[in-house]
Amino acid sequence: MLVLVAVAVLAIAAPLRHGHQAEQEVAGRAERADLHAARDAKYAEIRDAEMDYRTGKLSEADWRAMDRQLRREAVDLLHRLDAHEESEPA
């Protein structure tokens, strides 16, 4: 049992033995992750809208209008992602 406890303590303490590493740019990474998630959700929305059109839930006119709007929103997200990545330190 002592061996088990010792192994656990060593495993838990291992990161502390490697020295202090401050978390840089956590906020930036988190925002980028949120933008990635939003972009993926937007792509899914574009695919869902097309699926709704092909299965008869949307007329062609409605689908094209919705698709344009969704793609505009997708491009906006991509621009925000690009701007975010450009502003991040190397």
Partner 1 sequence: MALAGSTCLAAALAICLYGIGASLYGARARRRDFVASGRRAVYALAGMLVVAMGILQMAFVRSDFSFELVSSHSSTTTPLFYRVTAVWSSQEGSLLLWVLLLALWSSAILFLTRRRLREVAPYAAAVLLGFGAFFCALLVFLESPFTTLAAPPAEGAGLNPLLRHPSMMIHPPMLYSGYTLFAVPFAFAVGALITRRLGSEWIRSTRPFTLAAWLFLGMGIMLGARWSYMELGWGGYWAWDPVENASLMPWLTGTAFLHSVMIQEKRGMLKVWNVSLVLATGVLAILGTFLVRSGILESIHAFGASTLGIPFLVLIVVMIGGSIALVASRAERLRSEHRLDSLLSREAAFLLNNLVLVGLCFVVFWGTFFPLISEALTGQEASVGPPWFNRYITPLALVLVLLSGIGPLIAWRRATAANLRRNFAVPTGAAVSVLVALVAVGVTSSLGALLMFSFAAFVFGALGQELWRGVRARRAMSQDSVPAALLALVRRNRRRYGGYLVHAGVAVMFVGVAASSAFQDQRLVELRPGQTERIGDYALTYERPTSRLVAASNGRLERIDLGARLRLRHDDGPVQTLTTFKSYFPSTDPSLGPISRFFEGEATSEVALRAGITQDLWAAVAPDIGRLRPRIDEGDQVFATARELSDDDHEAFLAQALAGLSRSYTDDPPPATFRFIASPLVTWIWLGALLVFAGGATALWPAGARARRPATAAGLARVARELERA
CB < 8 Å & 24+ apart, contacts of 48-56: none
Q: What is the dihedral of CA 85, 86, 87, 90, to 10 degrees?
A: 80
Q: Which of 56, 86, 87, 89 forms a contact with partner 1 (CB under 8 A)?
A: 56
Q: Which of 3, 40, 80, 89 forms a contact with partner 1 (CB under 8 A)?
A: 40
Q: Which of 3, 60, 64, 89 forms a contact with partner 1 (CB under 8 A)?
A: 64
68 binds partner 1 (CB under 8 A): yes
Determine the Cα–Cα distance for residues 76 and 32; give it in Å rounded to an integer: 14
Q: Cα separations (Å) of 20 from 12, 13, 23, 76?
A: 15, 13, 10, 38
Give contact residues for partner 1 (rule: CB under 8 A).
1, 4-5, 8, 11-16, 18-23, 26-27, 29-31, 33-41, 43-45, 48-49, 51-52, 54-59, 62, 64, 66, 68, 71-72, 74-75, 78
